[in-house]
């Protein structure tokens, strides 16, 4: 039974928090969902990524960085674990000193470029790795829920086809604009949520996978909260799968202001099927 003496002050505290205005000093946070420029094959969906070191793609990335610089970020957070901070600092320091050529990763191609251009002393690692028992869920579904296995196969094929078409027919800026569209993010996030049904009422193996995914993202958000100081403008560069959850967390935090990345990406409409039919880029 809940103690009334505890409930009253807690309710008062919550009411007071909601009454607090979002002041000009609230940190502004822009969450940019990206694909993995280096295509390391870490995601469930495997796609064919254009070589970002080609002259054409380098020009496109420079245009993205120039557009994002209009946000005037004071801190840039990237998908690296804090436990690897020393290595990240070393790479960034070498890049600023002219001793390191940018690798294909989005952390370096976007994060290092923007941080260096803004005169930042460092970039901030906020990732937190965790278990993602995809195969365990699929093995269970293979025995108990074959319809779900078919659904996943169809969805992965659809997502891969769309991603490959985006890569073939669009600039980096156009790709990021599509990937950060709220409808696209909601659609992709919905696939994760369907996993919760696997093993419901029995092992809850699917719900366990979704819980672990949320656990990883709330830990990433906790790291973000620590560096989002009053008055700061934080640019988060992270895999697009994390973006809808992190945006939800930022938007729910009364101490933060969520910024729409669409306002800070190069203008231009993504290519339709007609342009793709002409041979792509």
Give the tens place of pLDDT for each residue, 177-208.
999 999 999 999 999 999 999 999 999 999 99
Which residue from 188, 163, 189 is spatially nearest to 176, judged by alpha carbons?
163
Q: How confident is the model at residue 63 (pLDDT cuts 50, 70, 90)?
A: very high
Q: Which residue stretches of 106-181 are H helix? A: 106, 113-117, 134-144, 146-169, 172-179
Q: Is the pLDDT of residue 250 over 60?
A: yes
The continuous run of DSSP H or E covering 257 comes out as strand 257-259
Cα distance between residue 10 and residue 7, in whole Å? 5
State residue 47's pLDDT score.
Answer: 72
Give me the sheet containing 233-239, strands edge to edge.
124-125, 75-78, 233-239, 28-34, 257-259
Beta bridge partners of residue 31, listed in sequence order:
236
Q: Choose between 268 and 75: higher pLDDT.
A: 75
Q: Choose between 15 and 210: higher pLDDT.
A: 210
Residues 6 or more apart whose CB falls under 8 angstroms from that of 10 comprise: none
Cα distance between residue 175 and residue 192, in whole Å? 21
Coil, strand or helix at 37 = coil
What is the residue-averaged pLDDT of the chain? 89
Q: Is the pLDDT of residue 19 over 50?
A: no
What counts of helices (H) and strands (E) characterise the chain?
12, 5
Cα distance between residue 184 and residue 172, in whole Å? 16
Which residue from 21, 108, 1 is spatially nearest to 58, judged by alpha carbons?
108
Which residue from 148, 163, 228, 174 is spatially nearest to 61, judged by alpha carbons?
174
Q: Is the pLDDT of residue 82 over 70?
A: yes
Which residue from 105, 110, 242 is spatially nearest to 185, judged by alpha carbons?
242
133 alpha carbon, distance to own chain's centre: 20
Map out the domains of the chain as residue ranges: 25-271
The continuous run of DSSP H or E covering 78 comes out as strand 75-78
Q: Is the pLDDT of residue 41 over 80?
A: no
Cα distance between residue 50 and residue 35, in whole Å? 11
Q: How confident is the model at residue 6 (pLDDT cuts 50, 70, 90)?
A: low
Cβ proximity of 76 and 111 under 8 Å: yes
Question: For residue range 99-148, what is the model confidence (pLDDT) as tens digits?
Answer: 999 999 999 999 999 999 999 999 999 999 989 999 999 999 999 999 99
């Amino acid at each position: 039974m809940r103690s009334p003496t505890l409930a009253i002050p807690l309710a008062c505290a919550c009411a007071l928090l909601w009454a607090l205005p979002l002041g000009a000093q609230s940190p502004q946070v822009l969450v940019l969902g990206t694909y993995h420029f280096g295509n390391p094959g870490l995601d469930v969906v495997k796609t064919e990524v254009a070589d970002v070191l080609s002259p054409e793609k380098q020009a496109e990335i420079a245009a993205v960085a120039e557009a994002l610089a209009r946000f005037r970020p004071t801190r840039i957070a990237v998908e690296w674990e804090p436990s690897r901070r020393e290595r990240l600092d070393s790479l960034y320091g070498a890049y600023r000193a002219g001793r390191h050529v940018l690798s294909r990763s989005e952390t370096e191609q976007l994060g290092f470029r923007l941080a260096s251009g803004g005169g930042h002393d460092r970039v901030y690692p906020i990732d937190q790795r965790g278990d993602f028992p995809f195969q365990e869920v699929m093995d269970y579904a293979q025995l108990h829920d074959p319809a779900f296995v078919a659904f996943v196969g169809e969805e992965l094929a659809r997502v891969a086809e769309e991603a490959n078409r985006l890569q073939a027919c669009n600039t980096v800026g156009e790709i990021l604009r599509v990937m950060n569209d709220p409808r696209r993010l909601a659609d992709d996030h919905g696939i994760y949520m369907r996993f919760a049904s696997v093993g419901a009422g029995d092992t809850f193996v699917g719900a366990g996978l979704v819980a672990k995914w949320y656990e990883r993202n709330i830990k990433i958000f906790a790291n973000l909260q620590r560096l989002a100081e009053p008055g700061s403008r934080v640019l988060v560069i992270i895999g697009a799968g994390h973006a809808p959850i992190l945006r939800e967390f930022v938007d729910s935090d009364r101490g933060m202001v969520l910024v729409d990345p669409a306002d800070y990406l190069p203008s231009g409409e993504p290519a339709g099927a007609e342009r793709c039919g002409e041979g792509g880029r």
